Amino acid sequence: MKEEIRAGIDDATRLEKMYRSNSAGFKQAFNEIYPELTDRQVAAYWYERLNYEGDGINWGTGRELVMIIAASLFAGLVAKLPAFLHLEEDFFYPRNVGFVVFPVLSAYFAWKNKLPAGKVTAIAAVTLIAVLFINSLPDVKTSDTLILSCMHLLLLLWSVLGFAFVGEAGNNEEKRLAYLKYNGDLVVITALILLAGGIMTGVTIGLFELIGFHIEKFYFENVGVFGLAAAPIVGTYLTRANPQLVGKVSPVIAKIFSPLVLVMLVVYLIAIVYANKDPYNDRQFLIVFNALLIGVMAIIFFSVAESTKATKSRMEAWVLLLLAFVTIVVNGVALSAILFRISEGGITPNRAAVLGGNVLILVNLVLVTVKLFAVTSGKAGINVVGKIITFYLPVYVVWTVIVTFVFPFIFGFK
């Protein structure tokens, strides 16, 4: 994109098209080559446009606000369906919790990106198929395949949201990295919204108790449900309209937690040896081990997504390299443990899902580690790590589809 910007620096229409097709990638590329263009008035204009941060909060247009309010209310109504339709909550929520927010966010990004009718239809079709499939599975409380389908369905809906987010730039690694960054920013802003909502809830309930009204049940069943459903939607709107809100917070979090997690992981592995914990025979410990693995992977991905926006120091690249290497060790232990359990007790839906997931993560980690080594050696920039991460994302999507839709039939709904 840098060469395209250089070539079209005097073509206002061309620059605008590039910006609209991939605003995050355009901003990064432009800021990197701006020192070469400081003598150009048009470059100074674009620099200010891309980097100016106003003092106030941008609330968008009235039309956008109406859409966000309507979307939040719709998400809340979906969350309240068990009460409206007298459905069992134990049946509804495990299967349908993902449909409360993800389809609404997908619709929002489809609207913002002005996706063509064909892609909108594809998003709607996948969502509808998922709704029908997950709710048609037998209601067996102890079914492992049902639990796996419900869990992986969330990842599938997350993938559909990513499809809507990247829009027409589906194969652009910068846009895919921007999606990972959006997820990190959304976690930060949603946590703040929920924290503020929690404080307001406590104050409200306390004030009503002072005058003799106990509104806890009504409040949580109505206001609380709508608030929880609306939080990620409002958070998405705020981060898209005001990138500066968490634009400086997220990189700081990534820089702080990457070395801390590295230290914690090393100490934890040493502590496991002294505690005589055995992931080969302790099922619960193996579950925690795999959860830890996924969490660390998410931190690596988020850190890389943040680091591609600015120049990454050699020390930070080394921290990510060591973190990736230690995570490979964790993955190796988890993978050997699940293979041991399969050899001892045979294949089960859970073991098959964990085995497949661990193998995919191991391959991804090795690829990321190789690229990080090239970065620390000065042979490549941090952007090569982002490219391999985004290149591999569709592999996870394929595995998610298999576990969600195929596993129940392979294992006879066990």
Question: Exposed, middle or buried: residue 184 (CB in 10 Å: 0-12, 13-18, 19+)?
Answer: buried
What end-to-end distance do the CA atoms of the chain give, in Å? 50
Residue 297 and residue 228 share a domain: no
Collapsed DSSP state (helix, strand, coil) of residue 321: helix
Residue 226 and residue 136 share a domain: yes
Question: Which of 244, 264, 299 is the last residue before a domain boundary?
Answer: 244
Residue 347 and residue 210 share a domain: no
d(CA 79, CA 247): 31
pLDDT attached to residue 99 = 95
For residue 183, give every residue at least 6 positions away whose Cβ sits within 8 Å of its Cβ, in sequence order, or none: 302
Q: What is the pLDDT of residues 332-366, one digit of tens each?
A: 888 888 898 888 888 889 889 989 999 999 999 89
d(CA 290, CA 143): 21
Per-residue pLDDT of the chain (414 residues; tens, 9 = 90+): 777 888 878 777 888 877 776 776 777 778 778 777 777 778 778 777 777 665 556 666 778 888 899 999 999 999 999 989 888 988 999 999 999 999 999 999 998 888 999 999 999 999 999 999 999 998 887 788 999 999 999 999 999 999 999 887 656 777 888 888 888 889 889 999 999 999 999 999 999 999 988 898 899 988 999 999 999 999 999 888 777 677 667 677 777 878 888 888 888 888 877 877 777 777 777 777 778 788 888 888 777 776 655 445 677 788 888 888 888 888 888 888 889 888 888 888 988 998 999 999 999 989 999 988 888 887 877 778 888 888 888 999 999 999 999 999 998 877
Contact 221, 83 (CB under 8 A): yes
d(CA 318, CA 372): 8
pLDDT attached to residue 400 = 95
* Alpha carbon of residue 43 to chain centroid: 34
pLDDT attached to residue 296 = 81
Q: Is residue 57 part of a domain?
A: no
The tokens describing 145, both together, are 């395949």
Q: What is the pLDDT of residues 102-140, one digit of tens each?
A: 999 999 999 888 899 999 999 999 999 999 999 999 888
Residue 182 and residue 163 share a domain: yes
Task: List the domain range (segments joined by +) for residue 42.
Answer: 2-51
pLDDT attached to residue 227 = 92
Residue 338 and residue 360 share a domain: yes
Q: Is residue 284 part of a domain?
A: yes
pLDDT attached to residue 194 = 93
Residue 68 and residue 208 share a domain: yes
Tell me how far apart the 2 most distant CA atoms of the chain are, in Å: 71
Q: Is residue 56 part of a domain?
A: no
Residue 220 and residue 90 share a domain: yes
pLDDT attached to residue 308 = 55
pLDDT attached to residue 59 = 67
d(CA 194, CA 263): 29
Single-letter residue type at 299: I
Q: Is residue 32 part of a domain?
A: yes
Number of domains in the chain: 3
Q: What is the pLDDT of residues 358-369, one digit of tens each?
A: 999 999 989 999
Contact 308, 372 (CB under 8 A): no
Residue 384 and residue 327 share a domain: yes
Residue 88 and residue 233 share a domain: yes
Residue 128 and residue 88 share a domain: yes
Single-letter residue type at 305: A
Burial 389-413 (b: 16+ CB within 10 A, else e): bbeebeebbebbbebbbebbeebeb
